[in-house]
Amino acid sequence: PSLGWRPGKDHKTEEQLWELIRREASADAAAEPALASFLHTSVLVHPSLAKAMSFMLANKLSSRTLLGTQLMRLISDAYRADPGIMEACVADIQAVFERDPACDRYTQCILYFKGFQAIQCHRIAHWLWTRNRRTLAIALQSRVSEVLHVDIHPAARIGRGVLIDHATGVVIGETAIVGDNVSMLHHVTLGGSGTGKGVRHPHIGDGVLLGAGVCVLGAHYVGAGSKVGAGSVVVTDLPAHCVAVGVPARIIKHGCLEQPSDKMDLVEDFILDYVI
Amino acid sequence: PSLGWRPGKDHKTEEQLWELIRREASADAAAEPALASFLHTSVLVHPSLAKAMSFMLANKLSSRTLLGTQLMRLISDAYRADPGIMEACVADIQAVFERDPACDRYTQCILYFKGFQAIQCHRIAHWLWTRNRRTLAIALQSRVSEVLHVDIHPAARIGRGVLIDHATGVVIGETAIVGDNVSMLHHVTLGGSGTGKGVRHPHIGDGVLLGAGVCVLGAHYVGAGSKVGAGSVVVTDLPAHCVAVGVPARIIKHGCLEQPSDKMDLVEDFILDYVI
Amino acid sequence: PSLGWRPGKDHKTEEQLWELIRREASADAAAEPALASFLHTSVLVHPSLAKAMSFMLANKLSSRTLLGTQLMRLISDAYRADPGIMEACVADIQAVFERDPACDRYTQCILYFKGFQAIQCHRIAHWLWTRNRRTLAIALQSRVSEVLHVDIHPAARIGRGVLIDHATGVVIGETAIVGDNVSMLHHVTLGGSGTGKGVRHPHIGDGVLLGAGVCVLGAHYVGAGSKVGAGSVVVTDLPAHCVAVGVPARIIKHGCLEQPSDKMDLVEDFILDYVI
């Protein structure tokens, strides 16, 4: 696990989660014949969450350019080579389930949520990037942007337990860092400033919430446990545990949390709530 | 028809509209050989608007997961079971034609406009949702978000004569209500607030216009005949017939319409016009 | 070349560029086996940039409706009939390469960047529009909006050396004009005002930079060399060489450039930099 990340008290292991996912898929396949074949091939025939995820992501990304079988092998290899990728995936599934009130099934998250799928694709592209397969990493980034409408540079570093809700139009630049337990909505931009090649994108601290359409531009730090209201443009650093809104964003509240270290609860309290 | 909806004086019946659509498709097929085969299979071979719509939507949504033939049967079943779905579709086609100056053909709306197609898919998903086929409804919502970049929860209630122009990135949450004759542009969010499961999304009154990128967040009511300027973030109720702009939105004009009940004209006057 | 456009001192000819692109593709195909077949069929088998572009764009746009072979012939025809289309493409490739710090290969731009691909598709659609094949032009616009999430009306006029970075959600209306050497980010809207059929969209001057999510609404002129910060809504004319930000946008700086005519440098200095 990355520094600072720790599982919540209801956190499930990969095996526990996989068992719950299989039970859901079984029940849904019995209740909805139109989806039975899909649920069998996507979930029920697989021996593990890693295999099911490899199949599902390969299916999403495959094209005349990138063959499904080739992608599935590549993704399986990544999961095997770096167990941290699946640990992060497990944390992300639980983040979606706990924080998105419209999500009442783990299978929904895995099979249908573009933001979740895009983050998992990014974790594979980032693995390729760090192993110096940059051309392939860029090809994956591009394919994710085409298929899931989320554009994350493979060099960007994304923590665990991250939720990108709705996800359409999210852009995360090359030198951006997203901490653990961050939640963001669709149309969020973590953008660069200037044409230099060095660090030029923001660092989002643990447990931060970014509302729909927020732009954070330049190498600024958004402190842990802070919240930025929808449509705001952040062009400065923000301290921890503040609330900022507006174009450009101004801080309207400080020290607004009693237990900043209890990340999951923090995010839950704040999701989508626009204090003003 | 839903409460409050009534056809305008030039409103066409389904049969009249279908006849006009066929004439356009015939003329275009003769004039543009590159599209002749497409226009025949999409429009001219079909006996009715409902059949043509079933074919077109099934074609858009089909995937390795959801077979086109299966989808076409499902959509046809919905149109047959609930005639209100096709009545709403007919109202939507005329809304696009009347309010979008870049649209001078009914066939453009049906064959090419993502916002129109996404609303019609939503009407099918909503029908599934109310008949307790929620897993399939969620699968359709997800497919529409992938293919048309519009994310409408199947539980949301959408009125008649609704225009979503350009449409990329629109998000409409689970407990949202959109009234009759509403027009909205791309990137509009009708978003939730908090993590509770109850009503947490906005209610948009009849004849409202929401500019590009507007976010309305939380269980607020935007009164009939009001207008919200592009890029605004609404986090409070708004009265009827006002104009609001800004982040957060402030009311800059009250009682700005003489005939608030004459919905179509109201919307026409206001489309895309940013009063400030 | 359009009035006002002139190549920078490092500007490469089509032949020079094509030679560089082939060298990159050769090296990448050798280094990354997973992409070798793709790079051969997309770049290395083609005799010219125009043929490679025709193949690549046809592949992106092809569907059950628009066959790839038919599209490839159509695009090749356009390049042959109007050499200005390829000259503009060459200028666009160099704009991306020079201004986007995340782009260090010409092949990245051609094969993977939605904004670049969408502009090239638009140039073909615009050619069809001006030759009175409007039905087909609209079909292409719609397909680009589906596949690349960029909605440019075929009647819009786009200059040379234009960069649309990230690109998701960009909307450019029917009577809009975009000058030479303009850079814009994702979610930019050049939108109409009112329901009339005349000129109702903005004119963006040469060398302008529009940040992420900027809306310019109505028949306003944004003067050459000006810059509009992310998330701003412009509902008035803006003079040349100013900086404007906010909802609605206010001018915060005038005459901010020493060499307004040196377009490429101007744009480079200003890219993504949010002065406030």
- Number of A/B CB contacts below 8 angstroms equals 116
Summarised one tens digit per residue, pLDDT across range B172-219 is 999 999 999 999 999 999 998 766 778 999 999 999 999 999 999 999
| Contact between B71 and B241 (Cβ < 8 Å) | no
Summarised one tens digit per residue, pLDDT across range A244-260 is 998 889 998 888 764 33
Q: Does A31 touch chain B (CB under 8 A)?
A: yes
Question: Is C2 within a domain?
Answer: no
Is residue A154 scored above 70 in pLDDT?
Answer: yes
Summarised one tens digit per residue, pLDDT across range A230-242 is 999 999 999 999 9
| pLDDT attached to residue A270 | 37
Question: Is C131 within a domain?
Answer: yes
| pLDDT attached to residue C95 | 92
Same domain, C14 and C133: yes
Question: Is B1 within a domain?
Answer: no
Is residue C31 scored above 70 in pLDDT?
Answer: yes
C-alpha closest to that of A12 among A21, A3, A4: A21
Is residue A266 scored above 60 in pLDDT?
Answer: no
| pLDDT attached to residue A2 | 52
Is residue B163 scored above 70 in pLDDT?
Answer: yes
| pLDDT attached to residue A6 | 73
C274 contact residues in A (CB cutoff 8 A) = 193, 217-218, 233, 235, 248
Cα distance between residue A58 and residue A151, in whole Å: 18
Summarised one tens digit per residue, pLDDT across range B15-35 is 999 999 999 999 999 999 999
| pLDDT attached to residue A91 | 96
Rounded to an integer, the average pLDDT of B46-70 is 94
Same domain, B172 and B187: yes
- Among the partner-chain residues B187, B229, B232, the one whose CB lies closest to the CB of C169 is B187
Cα distance between residue B267 and residue B260, in whole Å: 10
Question: Is C4 within a domain?
Answer: no
* 3-state helix/strand/coil string of A124-179: HHHHHHHCCCHHHHHHHHHHHHHHHCCEECCCCEECCCCEECCCCCCEECCCCEEC
Same domain, C143 and C177: no
Question: Is C1 within a domain?
Answer: no
Listed in sequence order, the residues at least 6 apart from C56 whose beta carbon sits closer than 8 Å to its beta carbon are: C42, C110, C111, C117
| pLDDT attached to residue A195 | 67
Listed in sequence order, the residues at least 6 apart from B91 whose beta carbon sits closer than 8 Å to its beta carbon are: B5, B7, B11, B160, B161, B180
Cα atoms in the Cβ-side hemisphere of radius 13 Å centred on B245: 21
Cα angle C232, C233, C238; round to 5: 95
Same domain, C222 and C91: no
| Contact between B220 and B195 (Cβ < 8 Å) | no
Give which of B62, B73, B145 to mutate to test A binding, by max A Cβ within 10 Å.
Answer: B145
| pLDDT attached to residue C186 | 97
| pLDDT attached to residue C257 | 65
B173 contact residues in A (CB cutoff 8 A) = 102
Same domain, B59 and B176: no
B271 contact residues in C (CB cutoff 8 A) = 194-195
Is residue B101 scored above 90 in pLDDT?
Answer: no
Average pLDDT, chain B: 89
Residue window 204-223, chain A: list those with CB within 8 Å of chain B. Answer: 211-213
A72 contact residues in B (CB cutoff 8 A) = none
Picking from B125, B150, B175, the residue at the C-terminal end of a domain is: B150
Coil, helix or strand at residue B172: strand
Summarised one tens digit per residue, pLDDT across range C60-95 is 999 887 899 999 999 999 999 999 999 999 999 999
For residue A115, the enclosing domain spans 1-150
Ordered DSSP codes for A205-225: PTT-EE-TT-EEESS-EE-TT
* Of the listed ranges B69-83, C11-25, C103-117, C252-266, the one predicted with least confidence: C252-266
- Specify the pairing of strand A243-245 against strand A250-253: antiparallel
* CA distances from residue A170 to A119, A150, A219, C80, C149 in whole angstroms, order as listed: 11, 5, 18, 38, 13
Same domain, C161 and C274: yes
Cα distance between residue C117 and residue C46, in whole Å: 18
Provide the terminal-to-terminal Cα distance of chain C, rounded to the nearest Å: 35
C192 phi-psi bin (left φ>0, alpha ψ -120 to 50, beta other): beta
| pLDDT attached to residue C102 | 83
C177-178 sheet: strands from edge to edge: C157-158, C177-178, C203-204, C221-222
Rounded to an integer, the average pLDDT of B56-69 is 92
Summarised one tens digit per residue, pLDDT across range A13-27 is 999 999 999 999 999
| pLDDT attached to residue A274 | 42
CATH code of the domain covering residue A2: 1.10.3130.10
| pLDDT attached to residue B2 | 52
Is residue C16 scored above 60 in pLDDT?
Answer: yes
Coil, helix or strand at residue C248: coil
B168 contact residues in A (CB cutoff 8 A) = 168-169
Picking from C150, C179, C208, the residue at the C-terminal end of a domain is: C150
Helix axes A134-148, A49-61, angle to 10 degrees: 80
Same domain, C185 and C253: yes
Same domain, B43 and B89: yes
Rounded to an integer, the average pLDDT of A67-80 is 96
Record the tokens describing residue C262, joined without a space.
Answer: 């040196």
Average pLDDT, chain C: 89
How far is the alpha carbon of C152 from chain B, nearest alpha carbon, in Å? 10
Cα distance between residue C61 and residue C143, in whole Å: 6
Cα distance between residue B184 and residue C85, in whole Å: 34
Same domain, C37 and C128: yes
Chains meeting C at 3+ CB pairs closer than 8 A? A, B
**Residues in chain B, overall count:** 276
Q: Check B230 against C215: CB less than 8 A apart.
A: yes
Is residue C265 scored above 70 in pLDDT?
Answer: no
Same domain, B60 and B79: yes
Per-residue pLDDT band at B103 (split at 50, 70, 90) = confident
- Among the partner-chain residues B112, B147, B212, the one whose CB lies closest to the CB of C191 is B212
Picking from B115, B150, B185, the residue at the C-terminal end of a domain is: B150
Cα distance between residue B174 and residue A101, in whole Å: 9
| pLDDT attached to residue C9 | 78
Same domain, A50 and A118: yes
Same domain, C276 and C261: yes
Question: Is B6 within a domain?
Answer: no
Please report, rounded to a whole number, the percentage of residues in chain B having pLDDT higher than 90. Answer: 78
Record the tokens describing residue C238, joined without a space.
Answer: 């803006």
Cα distance between residue B179 and residue B223, in whole Å: 10
* Peptide bond before residue A248 is cis, with ω within 30 degrees of 0: yes
- Among the partner-chain residues A138, A195, A215, the one whose CB lies closest to the CB of C231 is A215
Where do runs of H (alpha helix) occur along chain C?
14-31, 33-39, 49-61, 68-81, 83-99, 106-112, 114-130, 134-148, 263-270
Question: Is B187 within a domain?
Answer: yes
Question: Is C171 within a domain?
Answer: yes
DSSP code for B238: B
Q: Does B274 touch chain C (CB under 8 A)?
A: yes
Q: Check A271 against B194: CB less than 8 A apart.
A: yes
Cα distance between residue B167 and residue B171, in whole Å: 9
Residue window 129-158, chain B: list those with CB within 8 Å of chain A. Answer: 133, 135-136, 138-139, 141-142, 145-146, 149, 151, 153
| Exposed / middle / buried, residue B197 (Cβ in 10 Å: 0-12, 13-18, 19+) | exposed
Record the tokens describing residue A161, joined without a space.
Answer: 């337990």
* CA distances from residue C134 to B132, C129, C130, C150 in whole angstroms, order as listed: 44, 5, 8, 19
DSSP code for B100: -
| pLDDT attached to residue A98 | 87
Chains meeting B at 3+ CB pairs closer than 8 A? A, C
How far is the alpha carbon of B5 from chain C, nearest alpha carbon, in Å? 22
CATH code of the domain covering residue B261: 2.160.10.10
Q: Does C64 touch chain B (CB under 8 A)?
A: yes
Coil, helix or strand at residue A239: coil
Q: What's the number of domains chain A is made of?
A: 2
